[in-house]
């Protein structure tokens, strides 16, 4: 049974059958897919410092965004990199996908490494996002994860997949 349908997600209550055969009622959130991109230039990457209203705080994260209907993940990665950083990339290397919170949502986030960066003249930020682009030495990323400056799960996974 659909509980809520918005422009970006659907919330559904349904009966599920567990591996034991037992039936339980669960709520599942269906937000659609998303992408996250790690833009790298030499020994530097670009993170964003973004205000997230759900936690009422700013966090460091990789540029990311929702896949629009009819859009392929690589197209979303290209678009979101421009929208969030003002840069475009010559190369996008797929790094697989993750389930960020499979306990209550079926969201998949496709991960990309972006290289061959250059400024984009078509740069236009979304008017509802509060974002600052932060040039970050790659050598600092592990320490930023360890000391809690990077707490965003998709960004941590992306760094692990891209820089191993």
* Residue-level pLDDT at 126: 67
Instruction: Supply φ then ψ for residue 79, to 5 degrees.
Output: -65, -45
Whether 25 and 77 share a structural domain: no
Percent helix / strand / coil, the chain, rounded to 5: 20, 45, 35
Whether 12 and 67 share a structural domain: no
**Of 126 and 156, the one with more pLDDT:** 156
Which residue's entry shows tokens 């833009």?
A: 39
Overall domain count for the chain: 2
Task: Summarize pLDDT for 12-61 with one digit per residue, the tens.
Answer: 999 999 999 999 999 999 999 999 999 999 999 999 999 999 999 999 99
Whether the predicted pLDDT of 116 surpasses 70: yes
For residue 55, CA distances in Å to 5, 71, 116 come to 22, 29, 33
Whether the predicted pLDDT of 133 surpasses 90: yes
Whether 85 and 135 share a structural domain: yes
Whether 19 and 61 share a structural domain: no
What CATH number does residue 46 fall under?
3.90.79.10
Burial class (CB in 10 A: 0-12, 13-18, 19+), 18: exposed
Whether 25 and 37 share a structural domain: no
Query: With bands split at pLDDT 50, 70 and 90, how would you rate the model's confidence at 160?
Result: very high
| Closest CA relative to residue 62, chosen from 117, 137, 125, 113 | 113
Task: Summarize pLDDT for 70-97 with one digit per residue, the tens.
Answer: 999 999 999 999 999 999 999 999 999 9
């Amino acid at each position: 049974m659909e509980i809520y349908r918005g422009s970006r997600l659907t919330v559904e209550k349904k009966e599920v059958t567990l591996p034991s055969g037992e039936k339980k009622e669960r709520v599942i959130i269906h937000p659609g897919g998303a992408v996250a991109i790690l833009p790298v230039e030499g020994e530097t990457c670009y993170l964003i410092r973004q205000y997230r209203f759900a936690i009422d705080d700013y966090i460091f994260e990789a540029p990311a965004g929702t896949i629009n209907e009819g859009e392929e993940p690589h197209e979303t990665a290209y678009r979101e990199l421009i929208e969030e950083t003002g840069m475009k990339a010559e190369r996008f290397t797929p790094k697989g996908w993750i389930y960020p919170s499979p306990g209550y949502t079926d969201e998949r986030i496709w991960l990309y490494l972006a290289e061959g960066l250059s400024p984009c003249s078509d740069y236009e930020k979304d008017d509802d996002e509060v974002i600052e682009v932060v040039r970050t030495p790659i050598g600092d990323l592990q320490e930023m994860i360890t000391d809690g400056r990077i707490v965003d799960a998709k960004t941590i996974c992306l760094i692990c997949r891209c820089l191993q």
